[in-house]
Amino acid sequence: MKKDGLFIALVNSLILSVIIIAATVFVVYEKKWVGLVFIIIGFLHLLVLKIFNISVKSVWPDLVFGAIDNGILVIAAIIGADFAGVLGAIVGGSAANAITDGFAGIFEGWTAEYLRKNKIKEKRTALGSALGKMAGCLFGAGLVLLIAWGIF
């Protein structure tokens, strides 16, 4: 299957986004399940990559980026919500997003350099980068939510 087209990336990202929204709406009031559902949907993204013959290794930098980015963002949103409710969650999440994009970018770049240095193919495609980052975000947020709501 063609895996590097913008149209294919947009269609798959849109379909998976609808699945994320639908699943989130379904479990949002069952907070103990949200983290697990995010992780399961993250694996669904990896399955779609497999269908398009895109190896997980080749999107590893995107997975790292997403996991760091959303993992820290969720922590900041939880802390912000504790301090100032919805507005605090928005401000905390927004500020954290700016910060984590920078730090996650460092690790994304470092991971890409590591893969190239070790002769691991990491040729970027629109579909691979999109689904890799989406999966990473779901894994990062899912893990943090499992921990946060398991502890609190």
pLDDT of residue 108: 87
Angle between helices 31-51 and 6-27 (to 10 degrees): 160
Is 39's pLDDT higher than 80? yes
Tabulate helix, strand, coil % of the chain (nearest 5): 85, 0, 15
The band of 4, judged by pLDDT with boundaries at 50, 70 and 90, is: low
Q: Angle of helix 126-151 relative to helix 31-51, nearest 10 degrees? A: 160
* pLDDT score at 141: 95
pTM of the predicted protein model: 0.88
Distance CA 47, CA 64 (A): 17
